[in-house]
Structure 1
Amino acid sequence: MNDVNLRHLDQLLKHFEIHLSHSIGLGELEVALCTSKRNVSIVMRKLSEQGWIEWIPAVGRSNPSKLTIKKSLQQAITELLISELNKGSFKLVSRLVDLYGSTAVRALTLATEHLNQTNESSNAVLIASYPWVNTIDPIKTFRHAELHIAKSVYDVLLAQSPDGDLMPSLAHDWVMEDTRMTLWLRPGVYRHDGELLQVQDVVWSIRRLIEGNGPIKELWQCVERVDAVAPNCLVITLKYANKFFPYMLAMSNASIVCREQQSFGDKYSYHIGTGPFKIEHWCEDSIQLRAHKDYFSTRALLERVTLSHADADMQNMISFNCPSDQVEVQSISALFYLTYRERADSNISRDTWRQLADYIHQQKQLHDPINAVESLAFDPCKVRPMIANALSLTGKIVLAEPKWTIPYLIRNSQWLHNVIRSTGVELEVVIVSNISNRHLVSELADILLIEDVIETPVDYGTYEWLSVSTGLRFSFDRFKMDEHQAKIKRAISGESPSSELMEMERDLRLSYTYLPLFSGYEEMSRTQQVRGVQVRNTGYSDFYRLWVEQ
């Protein structure tokens, strides 16, 4: 409706000079607004309510009305954009730029300047072009953008230092003895609803990890039971010894959630948490995070963070209007890789796939020699490739991949498409709408292109990746996955679990089940006023560390 009001204001401005008082008849307004006499009064009343015009209707048939236009088109657009940006919405922004061109672009500049000043005074920040978010439930997602928010809304029992060492979080102390782990909860931890966190909340959350049907279920099948043994103490009993189990309690997917939920309409809801931020508003266009005032640990420096799901056009437009933006690049512990699934209806033979995989392995070193890797441990490629002629292969391969939202992943995906097509192989690309449910394309695609975060330390990261990685869940059917999980169980029960797990990863490479491509890195744009941007090697940057320079 707002863009309709703008159109009517634009029509008036083409007929009547701004800031002057005009005596006009109803017929003149009918012509100017290209509408019927019946609608003229409705249109003028709405423009008056917006504060864009002053209109005094005529009293009597022969008397004229009085009209004064108070706002220019640019001023009116600026007002609307400020309102939209405050809500984290960019849908109307794109439409206005299409309709009014440079006038709307200038208005966008003024609106963002106003928003920056407002955010500085209210200690808030808007993060534009944040990827779309369906859920922040830790047990239901592997998507980086969703876990990033979950990490700010929820806490884990144990945290990790930058070096991968375990540290206290919701649990202030713990003891691991064979198959029994005892944890003591930190007292005085308040939930987002103002209630104290109870040991029963933690027990319920961990049982949910074991019983839930999310992408990490396999990892938690080593747990036999969870019991509250005191008001501040719980015991987790394992089915077999697992030296990596304490690290599982530090992964974002193991964040502690409470039974109670908060809903935002019919579509969005989340379980109450204890983290540095709580969700204040959630709609299709954006998510607003508000600082948790009773947070037990390092309190967020910002009062509010708005994550807006702007489209690519708006991302470019915002960048154009922020010439002072800085781009920071930092390596993260993430692996960009391919996995292969042999299927009955495939139009490419296993031998052709092996030849294609060898060629991709060679070409990746020419494409990005710095980030091309040999294995899950991020070993650099050992043999420097020679430039060779393209292969001549036949067949058709179906590649499944998510909708990429990070620029370097988009570039690498396009590079891979070009390499495959250069061999003569026909390529069909299937977009996976929800990569956490990779089974939706398991029978439709031959290969899956994906990026997974590899947790630290590397031996635990290998264990977790082998257990629940997106790529291997795509590659293996139920029978093969059961065999694979049995191998993992034997490996962690052996005398040297780390080396045995590394050997399993090596066998997967040699059998062409998976092909490592590149290590990950993060590109982050920020305005000069935003401080505290820190990207950890996992790829997660902590929202609670952000602050705005006055």
Structure 2
Amino acid sequence: MGLIEQYVSCYPFSRNKMDEPQAVSLKELTEVLCCSERNTKLVLRKMQERGWIAWQPGKGRGHKSQIIFYKKLIDLLQQQAIEWIEQGQLNRAIKLLDNPSLTGRTADDLRRFLTEQFGLHTEHAHPYPQDVIRIPFGRELSALDPLQASVTTEAHFSRQIFDSLVRFNLKTCHFEPHIAHSWICSPDQKQWTFYLRKGVRFHHGRELTAVDVLFTFHRIQAESSPCAWYFENLIGMEKNGRYAVTLTFSKPMGFLMHLLSSLHAAILPSDIGFQQNHMSGTGPFKLVQKSEDSLILERFEGYFREQALIDRIAVYRTDIKSDHVSFYPADHGGSYYGEETSHHYFSRLSGCRYLAFNFNKSGAQLDFYFRQAFRIICDRSKLIQELKGDREEPADSFFRKTSRKSSVTSLPLAKAGSLLEKSGYHGEMMQLFCFDQKGSIEDAEWLRRRAETVGLNLKIHPFAMTQFFDRGIDRSADLLLCGEIFEEDLELGFVSLLRDKTVFLRRFLNQDQRKVLDHLANRLMLCTDWAVRRKVIDETEDYIRRNLFILFNYHAGSASTFSKELAGIEMNAYGWADFSKLWIRPPDVSVFPIHV
């Protein structure tokens, strides 16, 4: 506890009267400061030296001491908060709100003051003014390892730090050079050579070479890797000099460009690999700080492509909502505001929310009648109608266009009761897991109430995003509410859904079911014709839907708020703006249409 926090704890003894002596015992102060009498005296002496208080010890038994408060609490808090913000420690100022002694109007005033610190700001405590975007976010960010990126928000931030060999252009649906400036493949698509740009540097200063590409690909190949399937047909990998890499496969790999454009294949430095607190990529932003409460990225001046125009992105874990800048992807459960000073964006996210049944655990969920009953209980249209929020439209597929072709019907709950009787379910408690985000918990509670009406008992277990990779969930859950948001390359997103070891759909299927999906995924990757690939995707979804491996629930959206001074806003598939494209337009500059 710092001195300012200790002042907050003592402040109730002021009785909101400045410059007037108040009676208080040393024992009372010791209790609120949670320290010894000796340390309490040291704290009081420091406060006196700063001119915050005057302290007069009581003389004789029964005589209380006297304390005078000179600093109004909100003024002192704001002054201290400004100092911390200038030092890049806004998260420390936010923690002041957690002090139980801070209540009433003072707490409200401090929250209002801190809210104003989010959004766009220019910091002057540097050799030159820096443009900074401070973003409030409602949960702790999990690991940003590109190979493990399975949560949309983490994947977005990882994209700012790391780069892949090639990039997928959503507008043209073509692959474009990035770290690799060119590539060639054999007529049978079994051998590929990639030529690397010279002068591409990692954030720690070293030039990227073929050795780093081979290191990254060996890491992907590892048995523990969730993406080992990327290279399961790889039979040779070698560097051709400093700036070229050749890959040789046992089968045609027309799908390789999709795989190498993914975040999972982002190139890491061979000398340090991935280190959670010392990440080094080649992306437009470099990591400055990552903790449970904050993530700070700075513009990388050595970036090999067009440099970012925002100097720093600072994300802080807090329940504070800002009218000036906020991102609320589907996994956050936020809402946006109506200020005239802000732009509002609503993105229709790819993929969908769904409910998965665990086929690796004994229980009623293995029975097809039970899953049919749950399909009726989990009425997509009613769920959307009653809960609203970011729930846009019923899903019958991971793809919106396919869902819109389907006829989603509602059946009476009595039918679910009849199916439960056939299933052999006897009233046992079923374990329903969900993310500890507002929207997911709302869905779970809605399902629990619906299930209860037909005698199906559900116990809800919310878990944090940081527990995403916890295999204990796989052993404990009977059912799980989750979702999948595809990146810009939808085909890659769908194949990853089937093959990636971290995805709950795959984690909850048994070995035989996985083999079928592996076969379908491999067929899809070998197809060279889009129409044929589309048929394989439809066949795969029909297999999942027909067997009720999961229940498609709904397609969601995400809301974002930006100050009108912010320009260059390009929303990505994850419901976030690409930070590297953002720039600040001075508030006094008007925008006029151009007539040709």
Q: What band does the TM-score fall into relative to the shorter chain?
A: 0.7 to 0.9
Partner of 1:101: 104
Match of 1:72 in 2: 72
Report the equivalent of 1:127.
135
**CA distance 1:512–1:139, change in 2 (3 Å):** same
1:351-366 alignment to 2 at 5 Å? Answer: 351-360=368-377, 363-366=379-382
State the match for 1:523 in structure 2.
559
SS in 2 for 1:448: strand
Counterpart of 1:192 (choices 203, 206, 221) is 203
| Residues 529, 82 of structure 1: alpha-carbon distance in 2 compared, 3 angstrom cutoff | farther
What secondary structure is seen at the aligned counterpart in 2 of 1:442?
helix
> Contact 1:289 / 1:306 at 8 angstroms: preserved in 2?
yes
1:11 is matched with: 13
CA contact (8 A) 1:532 1:545 kept: yes
2:264 aligned residue (246, 249, 253): 253
- 1:150 offset after TM fit, Å? 0.8
Shift of 1:193: 1.0
**Pairwise CA distance, 1:408:** 4.6
Residue 242 (structure 1) aligns with: 253
Q: Confirm or deny: 8 A CA contact 1:402 1:435 kept in the other structure.
A: no
Partner of 1:374: 396
Q: Which residue of 2 aligns with 1:63?
A: none
- Could you tell me which runs of 5 or more consecutive residues in structure 1 were left unpaired when the two chains were aligned: 19-23, 58-65
Q: 1:48: how far off? A: 4.3
Aligned equivalents of 1:288 and 1:137: distance in 2? 16
TM-score, normalised relative to structure 2: 0.77
Query: How many angstroms does 1:486 deviate by?
Result: 3.9
Aligned length: 529
Answering whether residue 89 of structure 2 is matched by residue 87 of structure 1, we say yes
Deviates more, 1:190-199 or 1:110-119: 110-119
Aligned match of 2:363? 346
Give the 3-state SS of the residue equivalent to 2:307 in structure 1.
Answer: coil
CA distance in 2, matches of 1:51, 1:323: 43
The Cα shift of 1:72 comes to 1.2
Instruction: Tell me how far 1:261 sits from its aligned partner.
Output: 4.2
Q: 1:504 to 1:296 in 2, by over 3 A?
A: same
Q: Map 1:263-412 onto structure 2 (within 5 A).
A: 268-310=276-318, 312=319, 314-315=320-321, 324=339, 327-343=344-360, 345-348=362-365, 350-360=367-377, 363-368=379-384, 370-378=392-400, 379-381=402-404, 382-383=406-407, 385=409, 388-390=412-414, 391-392=416-417, 393=420, 394=425, 395-396=427-428, 398-405=430-437, 408-412=439-443
Distance 1:322 1:544 in 2: 24
Q: Does 1:437 align with 2:454?
A: no
1:426 equivalent to 2:437? Answer: no
* Distance change >3 Å, CA 151–CA 463, structure 1 → 2: same
Note closer, same or farther for the CA distance 1:72–1:140 as it changes in structure 2 (3 Å cut). Answer: same
Once structures 1 and 2 are overlaid, which stretch shifts more, 199-208 or 484-493?
Answer: 484-493
Residue from 202, 206, 227 that aligns with 1:216: 227
Greater mean alpha carbon deviation, residues 503-512 or residues 363-372: 363-372
Report how far residue 151 of structure 1 moved.
Answer: 0.5
Q: Normalising by structure 1, what TM-score?
A: 0.83
Report the AA paired with residue 132 of structure 2: A
Residue 544 (str. 1) matches residue 546 (str. 2) = no
- Alpha-carbon distance in 1 for matches of 2:517, 2:338: 51
1:449-464 correspondence runs (5 A): 449-464=481-496
Structure 2 counterpart of 1:228: 239
Q: Deviation at 1:346?
A: 0.8
Q: What do the CA deviations read for 1:219-254 (whole angstroms, capped 9, x no partner)?
A: 442333322112211112223113222111111122
**Distance change in 2, residues 1:474/1:154 (3 Å):** same
Deviation at 1:277, TM superposition (A): 0.9
CA distance change for structure 1 residues 111 and 218 in 2, over 3 Å: closer, same or farther?
same
SS of the residue corresponding to residue 485 of structure 1 reads helix
Distance 2:509 2:411 in 1: 34
Amino acid at match of 2:459: E
Distance 2:142 2:177 in 1: 30
| Structure 2 residues without counterparts, runs of 5 or longer | 31-35, 58-65, 124-128, 327-334, 386-391, 587-596
1:273 CA drift (Å): 0.6
Shift of 1:443: 3.2
Matches of 1:10 and 1:317 in 2, distance apart? Answer: 32
- Say whether the 8 Å CA contact 1:147–1:253 is kept in structure 2: no
1:409 CA drift (Å):
4.6
- How far apart, CA to CA, are the structure 2 residues paired with 1:411 and 1:526? 27
- Cα 1:231–1:531 shift into 2, 3 Å: same
Q: Is the 8 A contact 2:336 2:561 kept in 1?
A: no
Q: Which residue of 2 aligns with 1:170?
A: 179
* One-letter amino acid of the structure 2 residue matched with residue 450 of structure 1: C
Aligned-pair distance for 1:451? 1.3
Secondary structure class of the residue paired with 2:521:
helix
Distance 2:49 2:115 in 1: 24
Conservation of the 8 A alpha-carbon contact between 1:54 and 1:69: yes
State the one-letter code of the partner of 1:545.
Answer: K
1:488 maps to which of 521, 530, 536: 521
Aligned residues of 1:52 and 1:69 also touching (Cα < 8 A)? yes
**Cα deviation digits, residues 40-75 of structure 1 (max 9, x gap):** 752343224556358999xxxxxxxx9986531111
Cα deviations across residues 118-153 of structure 1 (Å, max 9, x unaligned)?
546531111112531231111123122221211011
C-alpha distance in 2 between matches for 1:169 and 1:486: 31
Tell me, yes or no, if the aligned pair for 1:139 and 1:216 is still in contact at 8 Å. Answer: yes
Once the two structures are superposed, residues 12-47 of structure 1 have per-residue CA deviations (whole angstroms, 9 ceiling, x without a partner) of 5756528xxxxx9xx978679856996675234322
Counterpart of 2:509?
Answer: 476
Offset, 1:374: 1.7
Secondary structure at the residue paired with 2:351?
A: strand
